[in-house]
Amino acid sequence: MDAQKYMLRCLELAQKASEEDEVPIGAVVVDPESGEIVSEAYNLSEHELDATAHAETLAIRRACEKLGINRLRGFDLYVTLEPCTMCAAAISMARIKTLYFGAYDPKGGAVVNGVRFYDSPTCHHRPEVCGGIMEAECGEILKRFFRNKRRKI
Amino acid sequence: MDAQKYMLRCLELAQKASEEDEVPIGAVVVDPESGEIVSEAYNLSEHELDATAHAETLAIRRACEKLGINRLRGFDLYVTLEPCTMCAAAISMARIKTLYFGAYDPKGGAVVNGVRFYDSPTCHHRPEVCGGIMEAECGEILKRFFRNKRRKI
């Protein structure tokens, strides 16, 4: 299944983040027509000194830059964790066609949890949503990261 | 009143945006201790080919970069329009102390309208909020911009 292939790549990116002591979340933007991965990113808010440098927002910025467009109509976004409110809104703003995510995030998610932004009348583009892809693996890499963090304290 | 002084600067930035055919929204990040404006920005989503290049998010990114920090604890943010869902969440993520905004935005706002993000249990930092500063002027520059846009069609 294609979705798993892209999610595996997101997991590899999350692993890289973890090795750099960043919260292990990975994302890719995909052209579903060609199957090509257009941009890749992982969380960089510590290294980039930028509170907004979440994997999804970075993947969107990089795809826009690479393609020379400011809307990603027809493109899909894959990410290991249910997007937070900022990223859910950025995904809508970028006009992403389908959002695929791995683990659910009851504490910070904004798609099926929290503010459920795509159900709000102030959301002007609703992507298709497919959650729970490789949910266990996507959740486990985060749990491991925070378990190790706590050990170091 | 200090808030009006900073909002006037935001309005000047919004005016610059308008002259560059960008949606006229301006924002500044201020150090309330010194009174210094740390960063300034206006909407650039057309020119920067970046769906996420809203005034508030850019002002946050620039302030983080300038100060070499990834959280803006103790800093204030001024913006001419009630922030959208993405920016409201970015402001929370950046740990902004007080958010001052001009016009209210029932269609796209996320502070007192829409998802009211700061009231959500998935919001982990709630800035103080002060809305309606120079509301008429901040609203008028946007109305004028869109009125002229429609004339050109």
Buried b (16+ CB within 10 A) or exposed e, B5-21: ebbebbbebbeebbeee
Chain A partners of B115 at a C-beta cutoff of 8 Å? 85, 115, 117, 120, 122
The residue count for chain A: 153
Instruction: Give the pLDDT of residue B153.
Output: 65
Residue recorded with tokens 């002060």: B130
Mark yes or no for CB contact B90/A86 under 8 Å. yes
Alpha helix ranges (H) inside B20-67: 55-67
Identify the closest residue of chain B to A46 by CA–CA distance.
Answer: B70
What mean pLDDT do residues B33-61 have?
93
Nearest to B64 among A51, A68, A90 (CB): A51
The predicted complex's ipTM stands at: 0.92
Q: Would you call B119 an interface residue with chain A, using a CB distance cutoff of 8 Å?
A: no
The crossing angle, in degrees rounded to 10, of helices A2-19 and A55-67 is: 110
Give the span between the Cα atoms of B122 and A76, in whole angstroms.
25
Nearest to B117 among A46, A48, A85 (CB): A85
Q: Would you call A44 an interface residue with chain B, using a CB distance cutoff of 8 Å?
A: no
Residue A113 DSSP symbol: S
Q: pLDDT by residue (tens digit) across A64-109?
A: 999 999 999 999 999 999 999 999 999 999 999 999 999 999 999 9
Give the span between the Cα atoms of A43 and A53, in whole angstroms.
6
Q: Please tell me which residue, A146 or A153, carries the higher pLDDT value.
A: A146
Q: Would you call B111 an interface residue with chain A, using a CB distance cutoff of 8 Å?
A: no
Nearest to B85 among A46, A48, A122 (CB): A122
Mark yes or no for CB contact A71/B51 under 8 Å. yes
Are the CB atoms for A76 and A129 separated by under 8 Å? no
In Å, how far from its chain's centre is CA B73? 17
What mean pLDDT do residues B61-81 have?
96
User: Three-state DSSP class for B28?
Assistant: strand
Residue of B25, B39, B44, B49 to mutate, interface with A, max A Cβ within 10 Å: B49
Q: Would you call A51 an interface residue with chain B, using a CB distance cutoff of 8 Å?
A: yes
Q: Would you call B86 an interface residue with chain A, using a CB distance cutoff of 8 Å?
A: yes
Q: How confident is the model at residue B1 (pLDDT cuts 50, 70, 90)?
A: low
What distances in angstroms separate CA A61 from CA A19, A87, A121, B45, B100, one per listed residue? 23, 11, 25, 11, 27
Hey, which residues of B are catalytic here?
56
Other CB atoms within 10 Å distance of the CB of residue B98: 16
Instruction: Give the pLDDT of residue A1.
Output: 61
Q: How confident is the model at residue B47 (pLDDT cuts 50, 70, 90)?
A: confident
Nearest CA distance, B144 vs chain A (angstrom): 22
Q: Would you call A112 an interface residue with chain B, using a CB distance cutoff of 8 Å?
A: no
Write down the mean pLDDT value for chain B: 95
pLDDT more than 70, % of chain B = 99
